[in-house]
């Protein structure tokens, strides 16, 4: 009994202490500002979870630069409202909403198939949507929610769109996959024999595992593209502590305290989008300079575990098996 209680409490303590450290560091770093980025006329971008928060700001900035942006999201009303707001700001906006539920592999496949049928290029894929600290539950296909939504749904989406990304990239203008992860990956553990957290469940541990999985996937995908000679790069990004709805599943007293602190000290969604946009757009990240892990507007070193080639390959192969991909 005591052991089970400790297994639930320890990941929570680690995550909250890490959050405090990250918040102090970003306050010391000061506000982030997006440098001038090149126009994106003729380029096509997909942003998952682009109906609100960081995803909305990423989509809005891409539209402002001339990109054709497709917002993928579960909430149709929210997505269409985001499209209307963007169009009100930019009269020549090329932006649309398409239904995408990352908790349903069928929905992911339908979204990807619908996109491929349009014969559009795909220059930027921002895997931004996610859940955090949700109660124990399963996706439509039986996967633990954090693992299924944050990681596996995005893995499948990227895989299904990979040929389009390859065809769209060219020397000096690589296609880019940007996976929005979190500093929480630093304290995550990958349990290859229990990726769905059936042996014991902690929402904090499950969230951290999903974020570590995203980073491992990002690094391995980048290596695969580079070794294959494809003009595609892949990186992971930590937007920092940002005032969004992501924290709504916190224990009620903590959520109330977090809401007050967030308004005062957290980054705004626009500031949170800065590093994501830099990774997606910066000319400095072409060629061999792409990939990696990005936080606070620049490339950062991360934990040795994320560079473990055996763990990267094992997770990659298990993911292919779970998704029946070959």
- What is the set of active-site residues? 207
Helix (H, G, I), strand (E, B) or coil at 129: coil
The answer to whether 102 touches 110, Cβ cutoff 8 Å, is no
Q: CA nearest 154: which of 131, 183, 135? A: 131
Distance CA 278, CA 298 (A): 8
Tokens of 217: 């996937």
The answer to whether 42 touches 64, Cβ cutoff 8 Å, is no
Task: Write phi, then psi, for 276 (nearest 5 degrees).
Answer: -60, -45
Distance CA 62, CA 64 (A): 5
b/e per residue 235-259 (b: at least 16 CB within 10 A): bbbbbbbbbbebbeebeeeeeeebe
Q: Which residues pair with 177 in a beta bridge?
A: 125, 234
Residue 219 is given by DSSP the state H
Distance CA 291, CA 219 (A): 7
Tokens of 276: 């994501």
Listing DSSP states for 251-286 in one string gives -HHHHHHHHHHHHHHSBPHHHHHHHHHHHHH-GGGS
Tokens of 312: 């990267």
């Amino acid at each position: 009994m005591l052991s089970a209680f400790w297994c639930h409490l320890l990941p929570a303590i680690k995550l909250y202490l890490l959050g405090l450290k990250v918040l102090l560091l970003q306050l010391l770093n000061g506000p982030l500002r997006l440098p001038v980025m090149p126009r994106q006329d003729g380029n096509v971008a997909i942003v998952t979870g682009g109906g609100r928060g960081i995803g909305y700001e990423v989509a809005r900035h891409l539209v402002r630069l001339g990109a054709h942006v497709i917002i993928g999201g579960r909430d149709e009303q929210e997505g269409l409202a985001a499209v209307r707001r963007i169009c009100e700001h930019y009269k020549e906006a090329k932006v649309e909403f398409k239904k995408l539920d990352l908790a349903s592999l069928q929905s992911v496949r339908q979204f990807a198939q619908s996109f491929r049928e349009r014969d559009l290029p795909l220059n930027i894929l921002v895997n931004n949507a996610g859940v955090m600290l949700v109660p124990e539950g399963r996706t439509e296909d039986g996967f633990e929610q954090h693992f299924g939504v944050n990681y596996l749904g995005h893995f499948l989406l990227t895989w299904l769109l990979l040929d389009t990304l390859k065809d769209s990239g060219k020397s000096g203008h690589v296609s880019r996959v940007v996976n929005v992860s979190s500093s929480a990956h630093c304290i995550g553990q990958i349990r290859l024999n229990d990726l769905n957290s059936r042996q014991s469940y902690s929402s904090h541990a499950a969230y951290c595992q999903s974020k570590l999985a995203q980073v491992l996937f990002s690094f391995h995908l980048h290596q695969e593209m580079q070794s294959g000679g494809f003009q595609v790069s892949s990186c992971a990004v930590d937007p920092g502590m940002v005032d969004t709805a992501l924290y709504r599943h916190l224990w009620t007293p903590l959520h109330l305290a977090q809401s007050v602190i967030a308004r005062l000290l957290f980054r705004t969604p626009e500031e949170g989008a800065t590093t994501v946009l830099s990774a997606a757009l910066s000319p400095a990240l072409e060629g061999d300079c792409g990939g990696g892990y990005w936080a606070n507007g620049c490339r950062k070193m991360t934990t040795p575990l994320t560079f473990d080639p055996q763990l990267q390959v094992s997770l990659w192969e298990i993911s292919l098996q779970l998704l029946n991909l070959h």
